[in-house]
Amino acid sequence: MKKYPPTAKELREWMDRKGLSNKDVAKALRLSDGRAVRFWTAKQEPRQIPYPSWYTLRHKFGK
């Protein structure tokens, strides 16, 4: 993952490698539920994860 923040596909792959669900990511970012995370990992028209959120995830779960 050289590009920061990652694309939706890269984010999904990273979550799979770590064994994280949308709910786990939402909890780590103190979001109310996993709906926002679904937008970031969507296969059709995904939204890019905000850099501060990505930075927090990297800090909590590592590379």
Query: How does pLDDT run across 19-35, given as a tens digit for each residue?
Result: 999 999 999 999 888 88
Amino acid of residue 31? L
Report the length, in residues, of the chain.
63
pTM over 0.85? The answer is no
Any alpha helices (H) in the chain, and if so which ranges? Answer: 8-18, 22-28, 35-41, 51-61
Work out the pLDDT band at 63, boundaries 50, 70, 90: confident
Of 7, 6, 8, nearest to 63 by C-alpha is 6
Sign for the pseudo-dihedral over CA of 46, 41, 61, 18: negative
